[in-house]
Amino acid sequence: MAFGEPDKDHDRCADVITAIASKWGDDDRRKDVTDFVTEAGELTRRPRGRPRKGGEGVSADAIFTAALRAFATHGYQGMSMRTLNRELGVSHNLLHQRFSSKEQLWYAAVDWGFQAIIDKVLADDDESLGPSARIKRFIKTFVMFAAEHPDLIRIMDIEAGQDSERLQHICKAYVLPMQERLGPVYEEAVAAGELREVPLQTSFFLITSGTAALFSSAALARTVFGDDVLDPDQVKAHAEAAAELIIRGLLP
């Protein structure tokens, strides 16, 4: 995901990092971390004392994107901040200076990524549509977003395997709020006779796991269906077909 206007990027980066620092209840640390965000939406440490040679400035976009890819590939336990520093082409202790720990980096990157899903879904939700049409629109929006951000889906798959504070954070901050937003829309569709009632867990996993597996299992998809299976036109066709199949399957 690329940043848009610099001022908005700066505010968003500052909000995300402030929230993570606040989670640890350290006002001094929170002030120190938010000072890393520049007007250009970058994270760059303001040196204390004598300036260091070759000061580094790495965009928040680059850091969080690389962090999500690393966590999605290696899992939380297997991810190495030292390796990530090397992949970013920065000094070996830069991430530790900015985030203090791997745990804080995980929360910052995950909040940055998952909040984008919420923002996209809410922006695309058209309340003038009927309830079943709104659900179909949500499914297509979610599928297209998953195609652009498969690392978020992989991280969710990894974290969903066992209970942890990380999983609880994702659920409480992002999954449950979206369920609270869309659940009443589905209930409205059932009450109006547009859709039939099925267990919520059934529709939840069909939509979130069933439609997005194509992207979280990209290597499998390419091996079985060819390299062009993730081309933009194929992704759009998948989103349309998945939404149509799920909605038709819920018809009374």
CB 54 within 8 A of CB 46: no
Segment 185-196 shows an average pLDDT of 97
Segment 146-155 shows an average pLDDT of 97
The architecture in CATH of the region 6-106 reads Orthogonal Bundle (1.10)
The rounded radius of gyration (Å) of the Cα atoms in the chain is: 20
The pLDDT of residue 15: 54
Provide φ and ψ at 203, rounded to 5°: -65, -35
DSSP secondary structure code for residue 131 in this structure: H
Segment 112-137 shows an average pLDDT of 95
Spans of all domains in the chain: 6-106, 125-249
Closest CA to 117 of 208, 205, 213, 183: 208
The pLDDT of residue 52: 38
pLDDT confidence tier of residue 60, bands split at 50, 70 and 90:
confident
Question: Which residues are within 8 A (CB) of 99 and not within 5 positions of it... i.e. 6 or more apart?
Answer: 20, 33, 105, 108
CATH 1.10.10.10 assigned to domain 125-249? The reply is no
Quick: pLDDT tens for 232-252: 999 999 999 999 999 999 999
Q: pLDDT averaged over the chain?
A: 84
Quick: pLDDT tens for 70-112: 999 999 999 999 999 999 999 888 899 899 999 999 999 999 9
How many angstroms separate the CA atoms of 95 and 199, rounded? 44
Three-state SS at 177: helix
Look at residue 40 and tell me whether its pLDDT is greater than 60. Answer: no
User: In 13-50, which positions are buried (b, 16+ CB within 10 angstroms) versus exposed (e)?
Assistant: bbebbeebbeeeeeeeebebbeebbbeebbbbbeeeee
The pLDDT of residue 25: 41
How many angstroms separate the CA atoms of 2 and 126, rounded? 25
The position carrying tokens 């194929």 is: 234
The pLDDT of residue 11: 52
